[in-house]
Structure 1
């Protein structure tokens, strides 16, 4: 090659900042033809576009970062204001809590003072109680010894006391309620209690109980309640009993005799019958052999039935009270009313009269014993045992 530089021998491009972007050197081939070649610029453009996009991205990121920083600054200012307000409210709450705590501290101080005073009183009471307990120790020991002495006799004493109680209840049933059967059951139960004790010294008491039971068997066994119920059932039947009221005898009908015949030859007889019928209309005389009963008005009938009911009620009350005289008088009065004012030939009246007569023949009188012999005997035995127990206790206390 010649010393002269060809226009295509060497090419250099520089950017505005004096940095070489790219250089393309094209050398000529000595063996080739001296024809000029084109320069390739595609990579340069691609590099420029990438750099431009990077610059735009960096600017956008810087702008977004600035915006976010500004938003964070505003949020931090709002949060700080809220925190300051909450701190102020907490300060006021803390002040209130401090005031209440101070109040409670004062109350606790007063309570502690009261508790201290109560503790002092309790300590004094405890001291006095301890002294009393120490004083009662000896008495408890004495009581234990007495209980040990009485432990062997306790079952027998309980059975004896139960037998005494049963005998007393038998007396109350007999004299207050007139209940003979229950009184006998009570006496039998008392005898079984004494039998369970197995003490031969109680045989005389059991003998007295047997005599009391036998005396109750001798009492009239008629049930007063049955008599009273029978009278109660008779009272409603009074309304069905017929009274002796006025009965007009039946008059025989003589119309058949006064009938006129149709025969002309009987004109005399027909005139006589006509005359008799005219006279009978003015004056009529009839004869009867049956007795004429007295007439009773409605008030009188009601009065008679109520008198009979009253007599039956009085007999019922007298039977329940076991008043024999009043019972018989009331029944006799009822019988007299029945005979005087009611039809005795009626079947209902006859049955009613028979029932009254049967009640009159019923003996309701009962002779109760004035006292039970076993009651006093049991009382004496219990008194003796109680006295012996107290005597033994006083002797042990003296020792």
Structure 2
């Protein structure tokens, strides 16, 4: 930029020298000092701009270098952290793999030991099967006794329980083993105890209660029963001495055409609204349903209370017709039923059969 300024100055001087003769021929030329000052001032401004540009370039370069250096340091720190995490995860993975290998080895060892035990037990069972084939029938008898207990205590099925105990006794009789006589005696006592249990026809009771429940919608509410009104006697007497009484009767007969007053004796209950009638019918159905559930649950008090309440509502709120009469008769028949039954707490033969099987299995395992 300085060289360009100097060239411009030389051109200016040259042009001034070239035009000097022309100025001398006409007007006087301006003094040469003013152009030199302008040239010196423009030269100093250009120098300042150049210095400022250099400083800005240096600052920009330094800022870019500092920013790049910070990013490089941050990336290096992040890389080191990721490498440390990767090393930690690799070590944890190796430790987990070693632990898993140890567990697999332990499981394989346990499986091998279990397989050996099963092989030994299978051989002993085969040996027992060849030596004592009747023990399977003994196990069948024990299973039948257990199933009889479930039928009796869970389902209250006395007939099925007695049949299973009888089948168990047949299995023991087929073994023809005198040592089993005490167990057969215990089975006979258990069968006798079951047969002595009072049988309750629960299905029949529930069916009857259901038939009563179906008749509820056919019931009619009892209407208001009014007492018979007293009819006044307006007959006049033919005796002259009864003129006062005849006068009263005549006046009463005359006034009866305007106001009639009849007296009725007795309590009159208010009628039920349709909504109350619906609630009453539904409550009656609920009581009968409660009695049905009590039959299956053997809840004697609940059963008796439900029937008593049902009978009371039938008598108080419903009309005396054939439907109500039928329901009352059925409830009277069901009220005397005993639904609570005392079952034997356990079978005597079950513990003895289980003990016999355990003893024989123990002898088998010990090889005696």
Q: TM-score scaled by structure 1?
A: 0.52
Distance (Å, rounded) in 1 between the aligned partners of 2:177 and 2:166:
17
* Runs of 4+ off more than 6 Å: 142-146, 249-253, 275-278
Sort the Cα spacing of 1:321 and 1:309 in 2 relative to 1 into closer, same or farther, 3 A: same
Sort the Cα spacing of 1:231 and 1:162 in 2 relative to 1 into closer, same or farther, 3 A: same
Count of residue pairs the alignment pairs up: 236
2:310 is aligned, of 311, 334, 337, to: 334
Residue 145 of structure 2 corresponds to: 167
Residue 309 of structure 1 corresponds to: 285
**Superposition deviation, residue 286 in structure 1:** 3.8
Does structure 1 residue 284 correspond to structure 2 residue 250?
A: no
How do residues 50-61 of structure 1 correspond to structure 2 at under 5 angstroms?
none
- Cα deviations by residue, 1:20-72 (Å, 9 ceiling, x for unpaired): xxxxxxxxxxxxxxxxxxxxxxxxxxxxxxxxxxxxxxxxxxxxxxxxxxxxx
**Superposition deviation, residue 348 in structure 1:** 2.7
Does structure 1 residue 225 correspond to structure 2 residue 203?
A: yes
Higher RCO (CA 8 Å, separation ≥ 6 residues): 2
Counterpart secondary structure, 2:198: coil
Sort the Cα spacing of 1:278 and 1:229 in 2 relative to 1 into closer, same or farther, 3 A: same
Counterpart secondary structure, 2:169: helix
Larger Rg: 1
Does structure 1 residue 240 correspond to structure 2 residue 218?
A: yes
- Cα deviations by residue, 1:161-184 (Å, 9 ceiling, x for unpaired): 000000011111111111111111
Is contact 2:227–2:265 with CA below 8 Å preserved after alignment? Answer: no
- 5+ residue gaps, structure 2, are 1-111, 232-249
- Cα deviations by residue, 1:283-313 (Å, 9 ceiling, x for unpaired): 2334567874532221222222222111111
1:370 is aligned, of 315, 320, 345, to: 345
Does structure 1 residue 353 correspond to structure 2 residue 328?
A: yes
Residue 38 of structure 1 corresponds to: none
Is contact 1:245–1:293 with CA below 8 Å preserved after alignment? Answer: no
Sort the Cα spacing of 1:159 and 1:343 in 2 relative to 1 into closer, same or farther, 3 A: same
**Superposition deviation, residue 153 in structure 1:** 0.9
Distance (Å, rounded) in 2 between the aligned partners of 1:289 and 1:383:
85
2:130 is aligned, of 135, 151, 158, to: 151
**Superposition deviation, residue 391 in structure 1:** 2.1
Counterpart secondary structure, 1:284: coil
Is contact 2:284–2:313 with CA below 8 Å preserved after alignment? Answer: yes
Counterpart secondary structure, 1:154: coil
Is contact 1:308–1:337 with CA below 8 Å preserved after alignment? Answer: yes
Is contact 1:220–1:365 with CA below 8 Å preserved after alignment? Answer: no
Is contact 2:124–2:365 with CA below 8 Å preserved after alignment? Answer: no
Distance (Å, rounded) in 1 between the aligned partners of 2:189 and 2:318:
51
Distance (Å, rounded) in 2 between the aligned partners of 1:152 and 1:168:
26
Sort the Cα spacing of 1:303 and 1:288 in 2 relative to 1 into closer, same or farther, 3 A: same
2:166 is aligned, of 188, 213, 218, to: 188
**Superposition deviation, residue 158 in structure 1:** 0.9
1:320 is aligned, of 278, 291, 296, to: 296
- 5+ residue gaps, structure 1, are 1-131, 254-272, 394-399
Is contact 2:230–2:264 with CA below 8 Å preserved after alignment? Answer: no
Distance (Å, rounded) in 1 between the aligned partners of 2:215 and 2:167:
44
- Cα deviations by residue, 1:185-239 (Å, 9 ceiling, x for unpaired): 1111111111111111111111111111111112121111221121111111012
**Superposition deviation, residue 251 in structure 1:** 8.5
Sort the Cα spacing of 1:175 and 1:249 in 2 relative to 1 into closer, same or farther, 3 A: same
How do residues 105-120 of structure 1 correspond to structure 2 at under 5 angstroms?
none
Distance (Å, rounded) in 2 between the aligned partners of 1:330 and 1:368:
25
RMSD over equivalenced CA pairs, Å: 3.4
Distance (Å, rounded) in 2 between the aligned partners of 1:379 and 1:250:
80
Q: TM-score scaled by structure 2?
A: 0.57
